[in-house]
Structure 1
Amino acid sequence: MPKIAAVIVAAGRGTRAGSPSLRPKQYREIGGEPVLSHTLRAILRVPSIGSVVVVTHPEDAALFEDCSGRHDRQRLERVDGGASRQESVRLGLLALRKAEPDIVIIHDAARPFVDTALIERVVAAVDPRSGALPALAVADTLKKTAQGVVTGTVDRTSLYAAQTPQGFPFAAILEAHEQAAAAGRADFTDDVAVAEWAGLPVRIVEGSAANTKLTTAADLIAAKERHLEGNAQVDPRTGNGYDVHRLVPGDHVWLCGVKIAHDQTLDGHSDADVGLHALTDALLATCGAGDIGDHFPPSDPQWKGASSDIFVRHAAAVVRQKGGRIANADVTLICEAPKIAAHRGAMREAMADMLGIALDRVSVKATTNETIGFIGRREGIAAIATASVVYPGDPS
């Protein structure tokens, strides 16, 4: 299988999208999230894409951190862009050299509505000797003018409107950009133009009418109304998790990421944090990704004594790789002792940090078992967790 990487170009100032006092358009919000966050989700949703380099303006590092914190950071790298889009792409490609991809797709941050099917069409059309361009045949009649007067009609038979992502064999497009820079050519408007200049063939694949580029303030308003606040499909899901561990003699327990002094301890291969184990299963359940034992087998010695926040962070990353946004996490601890109330705030803060969500989206509750059963006899502690995750309604 070829190694696939992506460059997302997000270094522009977007002056046509509104007042310079506003954020650049890629950081303006639609549907409660920055445009760039939607674009990252669309790219990271494709599991075959490995490394993703995001090229931003040097002044936008903090804005990028806010966007990227909602996604799988292990696949993301930020680099500073240049004075032009062409230079920014070249710098992004240079940053990918260490990943040694076979194929790279180059996408504009201001196209947040690209879907998985389009991306896969582009990737499938790339081969070692040619690139791929998603495009739509021009439907409108085109006119030539001079001083505001129509002078002719343009034959639209072979005309296409170019979109991104544009796909290329990595080594070939990097060489083309390097050659263009060395030749002092900085006037190309997209990467297919660079490829054409360098003699790299590019074939057309079907684009998407939904894959619009947000350029003006009116585009942003329309995006809010039409795509995310009106007709956008979303896929809310709920996952449940349950875990129980035996209590044995000891001096502390770990519950929901907090160490609590106690006259017993929980027995388990890791730190036996029942709350976090249940939460891990709840998160994985929202995208059919198995359970904690599939990802962290108790037979594997590397997890002996491990901190259970590792499991939760991994499950959250899996959810985000699938395009999910964690909306809420709720854990109920069932035990006779220790008392939980004094530790609830610390538990919520720990879980919010692991999940990368706001504190008011995390809940921890506790109840006893009224001295009934193994919990009532203080032989063990159980936990029930529920996670709510919103996935995009991508028809692909």
Structure 2
Amino acid sequence: MSSVAAIIVAAGRGTRAGGDVPKQYRELAGRPVLARTLETFLAHPGLAAIVPVIHPEDAGRYGAVAAGLSEATGRLRAPVSGGDSRQASVLAGLEALAVGTMRPEIVLVHDAARPFATSDLIDRAIAAARAHGAAVPGVTVTDTVKVVDDAGLVRATPERAALRLIQTPQAFRFDDLLSAHRQAASLIDAGFTDDGAIAEWAGLGVHVFPGEPANMKLTTAADFDEAERRLAAEAPALGVRVGCGYDVHAFAAGDHLWLGGIRIAHDRGVLAHSDGDVVLHALTDAVLGALAEGDIGTHFPPSDPQWKGASSDRFLAHAMALLRQRGGRLDHADVTVVCEAPKIGPHREAMRRRIADIVGLPLSAVSIKATTSERLGFTGRREGIAAQAIATVRLPFDREP
């Protein structure tokens, strides 16, 4: 049996879909699109390796997605930085697979923004690549197609029986596709829209096998609306829960604080086993509270030396992974910071963006507020800093912990 690998292309910006984050990281019925796509491929037993290709600026977003997967190690390889075009990104993934023992005989290339591919479709792709060397999935055209000129006049009406709408995953003999991409590397502006086109240009015979009409690519806001309706019809009923979290740390010698995943210069540090980020600690406890899964100390005990100095985004990503494993979704996060100093206002938006990246929410669903305690208590005496968080989540009624 030949080895098979998959490249998941997730380096695009997805601006036509709207929203505050690239479309592959947007939530779809409570799950990031990329997480849904990766899980489909991780669940397929015929794949020896899955290589995500991501934008260099999306490392944090990808880390949060990977932390929520049921299989975040093993066959899921480290992400590869993509290029300025889809073509360059696929080549980067191919070159990563060409190194050492990772080199497969068959490679699938799939768009991260197609989260509805099925195991059967992957089976057909692998079989077609073994039989033909280069193969792409296609669905028949049911509408009449017209060729029009710049003035809007019809110039031709192709016979639709010979037309196909091409999807992914596309499947190839690895060495053939790598060679074709290397040859085409200098032709970024040649108009190649998929890997099948590059294979055709390189002289490979490309076979079309049956695709799936439901294997839609999420491109516009309307596509997301349709996908949400589709998943809502399939999903169990969800109930709303609200979790609360609170954290406090005393000030100590130092020159900075970590708040909301952001390093903030300050004339004091904090006493803490981890990085002491009261914002992320409180929000982690809020999510765990909504799940009735204990508190942050239960999952990351301060007596365990592996968490000494640990970045608190790992704690929040863990809580989000538990939420997703239960079939739940986070709808809104609201955090209040209590301190006399530092001033939170100048850092508020950066904190919101960082938290949105970690939990996979749009920026509009993350709130950061700040207040003083009117010089009362330990915060008023500038002895420490505190944060309170509320997390609104939805969980299936019929799921038990």
Q: How far 1:150 moved relative to its partner? A: 3.1
**Aligned partner of 1:7: which letter?**
I
Aligned runs of 1:220-259 on 2, under 5 Å? 220-226=224-230, 228-232=231-235
Confirm or deny: 8 A CA contact 1:129 1:200 kept in the other structure.
no
Q: Which has the greater radius of gyration?
A: 1
Say whether 1:84 aligns with 2:88: no
Secondary structure of the 1:134 match is: strand
* Matches of 1:81 and 1:344, distance apart in 2: 38
Question: Which has the larger share of strand?
Answer: 1
Q: How far 1:329 moved relative to its partner? A: 9.6
Secondary structure of the 1:101 match is: coil
Q: 2:181 aligns with which of 177, 180, 186?
A: 177
Cα deviation code 1:296-341 (max 9, x no counterpart): xxxxxxxxxxxxxxxxxxxxxxxxxxxxxxx9798xxxxxxxxxxx
Aligned runs of 1:237-316 on 2, under 5 Å? none
Corresponding position of 1:16: 16
Q: 1:55 aligns with which of 53, 56, 64?
A: 53
Consecutive unaligned residues in structure 1, runs of 5 or more: 235-326, 331-342, 363-387, 391-396
Q: How far 1:157 moved relative to its partner? A: 1.8
Change (3 A) 1:160 1:359: closer
Say whether 1:204 aligns with 2:205: no
**Aligned partner of 1:75: which letter?**
R
* Matches of 1:81 and 1:89, distance apart in 2: 7
* Matches of 1:48 and 1:115, distance apart in 2: 13
Q: How far 1:155 moved relative to its partner? A: 1.4
Q: How far 1:92 moved relative to its partner? A: 0.6
Change (3 A) 1:195 1:389: farther
Secondary structure of the 1:168 match is: strand
Corresponding position of 2:194: 190
* Matches of 1:359 and 1:193, distance apart in 2: 38
Corresponding position of 1:141: 144
Secondary structure of the 2:6 match is: strand
Q: 1:126 aligns with which of 129, 136, 148?
A: 129
Change (3 A) 1:60 1:197: same
* Matches of 1:217 and 1:54, distance apart in 2: 24
Corresponding position of 1:95: 96
* Matches of 1:64 and 1:90, distance apart in 2: 20
Cα deviation code 1:244-283 (max 9, x no counterpart): xxxxxxxxxxxxxxxxxxxxxxxxxxxxxxxxxxxxxxxx
Cα deviation code 1:121-176 (max 9, x no counterpart): 11011127621111101111011223123344221121100000000011110010
Report the TM-score, using the length of structure 2 for normalisation. Answer: 0.59
Aligned runs of 1:37-76 on 2, under 5 Å? 37-71=35-69, 72=71, 73-76=73-76
Confirm or deny: 8 A CA contact 2:132 2:207 kept in the other structure.
no
Change (3 A) 1:231 1:84: same
**Aligned partner of 2:98: which letter?**
R
* Matches of 2:194 and 2:296, distance apart in 1: 51
Secondary structure of the 1:173 match is: helix
* Matches of 2:91 and 2:166, distance apart in 1: 20
Q: 2:154 aligns with which of 147, 150, 156?
A: 150
Change (3 A) 1:389 1:46: farther
Confirm or deny: 8 A CA contact 1:328 1:389 kept in the other structure.
no
Q: How far 1:360 moved relative to its partner? A: 8.0
* Matches of 2:322 and 2:90, distance apart in 1: 39
**Aligned partner of 1:86: which letter?**
Q
Q: How far 1:200 moved relative to its partner? A: 1.5
Say whether 1:164 aligns with 2:144: no
Q: How far 1:356 moved relative to its partner? A: 3.9
Secondary structure of the 1:86 match is: helix
Q: In percent, how many aligned pairs have the same letter?
A: 45
Secondary structure of the 1:127 match is: helix
Confirm or deny: 8 A CA contact 2:136 2:207 kept in the other structure.
yes
* Matches of 2:11 and 2:322, distance apart in 1: 33
